[in-house]
Amino acid sequence: MDIPENAKTQVIKNVPYVYIDKPFWNPDKKRGEHKREYIGKMENGCFSPNKKYLLQMQAEHAVSKPGPVPAMECTRLFYGATYLLDCIGKKLGITSDLKACFPQQYQQILSIAYYLVLEEGLSMYRFGKWARIHKHPYGQELPSQRISELLGSIPESAKMEFFRKQAARRAEKEFLAFDTTSISSYSQAIKMAKYGKNKECDDLKQINLALLYEEISRLPVYYRKMPGNTADVKTIQNLLKDVDFLQMDKLNLVMDRGFYSEKNINDMMKHHHKFLIGVRSSAKIVKHRLDQIRGESFITWQNYHDDLGLYIMSFTEEWDYHEDKPRLGMSIQEKRRIYIHHYFNDQRCTDERLSFSRMLSRLQEELSSGKRSPEHEKLYSKYFEWSETPKRDIRITPKEDAIRDAQKNFGYFALMSNGIKDPVEAIQIYRTKDLIEKSFGNLKERLDMRRMSVASDENFEGKLFIQFVALMYLSYIKKQMDDHRLFQRYTMQTLLDDLDVIEFYQQPGKAHHLSEITKKQEALFEAMGVEAPS
């Protein structure tokens, strides 16, 4: 008999014993633990199973008599919402791709993903109750221990193959939004959890998650996790390596200004990827032109776009491209064409000016009261000079030049691209990225991804992958609701609840049938792009 793939060995008194590590949740200690199930030993390089394991394998491989198994009892299950997810999974290729990559586990993965979609914010341990009353791909309950084992057994190679298959279904010309988000963690067992710039503003270690999203369909394509102290600007290089594996030859990436650096721009040009990226007004390539056009020459009626509510000017510039080729012992330096689109927003200018004035007032108050904040020391020195008077008062003088220099760029922002010449098209694509970012924040809340608590790195990886699968379904549903203006009448939960009440009946020896489907429910299925069940 062959040794199982997940088996490990332990030498006891010079004898190599074979065991299977089984993680489980200890409800008394409220933590994940492991136990070893010994299944045999190695003798002369061959696996020799013990009696218990041998009987277990014989029982599992016993051949039952073929033929249909009639239903022996009546069943009544909620069906409408899981039917919707079945159709979406078939339409997007999620089901077939999961089946190809996880032939033994795909039904369990789908059922847990369905549960996460339909039951907002509920913990995994309530899956059993949900599974008993719903028709779902796995069709059975999964106790907490089995779920824990499933999460810990999802291999990395199969996940990457799933991403590759999904990426192959995406349109080559569609822009992909690239962004990062943070996931806080209570667990001390996750190695990548580090203290970093926390986007959730809580005092927990975090894992950073980099995401690729389609601009038009708003579907997530791929994710990768990173240590929580990784800065956004450092993630592009690894993304480009991952993209090579995904076999997405030419990317169209849209990113915010946190990813801008000369190295990242050179790397994307080196791989011949098109990009649209936000750039700070202080960047040399933007500042040079902005200093020429700032003020009355920019903010004129001729440059105003009524539909966007923005003043717009666009220029073709030259990028100093640099590439080192160590193997050839040479360096390439040349000029490459890029487009810089400049924008001015009156309302944004007013808001930034008001926010800046409030900050200066707060800094002045902290200085005069003597209640200085260590976090604001650089700001004190940047915008104020102060000295103590003979009466022990503090004389504070603002640095007018520094204040004017900070205010001069209020309301201005810029986008850079090596493929989009039209500034209107550029800002429309970039605004779609912002919409996706906000949507993901809402969906992350729904999937209980704000703060993760798992027993091991393996379980974290598995839970993250299943949540990503659930996110694909939620993203599709949200896009359809946006397109058909359904949020005027529904929340996502009330829409799914309205469909969930459709029931599936099965009686012994008879074909199944469904409960009544209303015209309102038929209209919802149509809006979701699927046919109503019959």
pLDDT in tens, 297-350: 899 999 999 989 999 999 999 999 998 887 777 888 999 999 999 999 999 999
Q: H or E element: which one contains 23?
A: strand 15-26
E-state strands within 191-283: 205-214, 220-227, 252-255, 274-279
What is the chain's mean pLDDT, rounded?
83
Q: Per 3-state DSSP, what percentage of the chain is helix, strand, and coil (rounded to 5)?
A: 45, 25, 30
Contact 97, 165 (CB under 8 A): yes
Residue 458 binned pLDDT confidence (cut-offs 50, 70, 90): confident
Spatial separation of the C-alpha atoms in residues 439 and 448, rounded to whole Å: 14
What is the model's pLDDT at position 9?
A: 85
The structure tokens 């926390």 sit at: 198
The highest-confidence range among 49-63, 276-290, 498-512, by mean pLDDT, is: 276-290
Residues 6+ apart with CB under 8 A from 153: 6, 105, 458, 462
User: Do 172 and 250 meet the contact criterion of CB atoms below 8 Å apart?
Assistant: yes
Strand-pair category, 176-185 with 252-255: parallel
Tokens found for residue 312: 């717009």
253: helix, coil or strand?
strand
d(CA 340, CA 192) in angstroms, rounded, equals 37
Task: Read off the pLDDT band of 69 (50, 70, 90).
Answer: very low
Q: In this predicted structure, which of 51-65, 67-81, 234-248, 520-534 has the lowest mean pLDDT?
A: 51-65
pLDDT-derived band of residue 77, with 50, 70 and 90 as boundaries?
very high
- Residue 270 Cα distances to 173, 332, 403, angstroms: 19, 11, 40
**How many Å apart are CA 448 and CA 470, to the nearest integer?**
11
Asked if 42 contacts 16 with a C-beta cutoff of 8 angstroms, the reply is yes
211-254 residue pLDDT tens = 788 877 788 888 877 664 555 566 677 777 776 667 776 678 88
Model confidence at 195, in pLDDT bands (50, 70, 90)?
Answer: very low
**pLDDT for 203:** 53
| Amino acid present at 477 | I
pLDDT for position 503? 94
Show the tokens assigned to 472: 């694909």
**Percent of the chain surpassing pLDDT 90:** 41
Higher pLDDT, 432 or 148: 148
Q: Which residue type sits at 186?
A: Y
In our burial notation (b when 16+ CB lie closer than 10 A, e otherwise), range 121-154 reads eeebeebbebbeebbbbbeeebebeebbbbbbeb
For residues 483-495, give the mean pLDDT.
Answer: 92
Averaged over 475-503, what is the pLDDT? Answer: 93
Q: Which of 233-237, 360-364, 368-372 has the highest mean pLDDT?
A: 360-364
* CA–CA distance, 360 with 357 (Å, rounded to integer): 5
Which pLDDT does position 222 carry in this prediction?
84
Backbone angles phi, psi at 457, to 5 degrees: -60, -40
Output the pLDDT for position 392: 67
Mean pLDDT of 452-476: 80
Length of the chain: 534
**Is 295 or 96 the better-scoring residue by pLDDT?**
96
Average pLDDT over residues 196-217: 66
pLDDT tens per residue, range 125-165: 789 889 999 999 999 988 888 888 898 889 888 998 999 88
Contact in structure between 457 and 189 (CB atoms under 8 Å): yes
CA separation for the pair 245, 221 (Å, rounded): 13
- Tell me the CA end-to-end span of the chain in Å, nearest whole number: 48
Task: Quote the DSSP letter at residue 508.
Answer: T
pLDDT tens-digit map of 171-184: 556 677 887 776 65
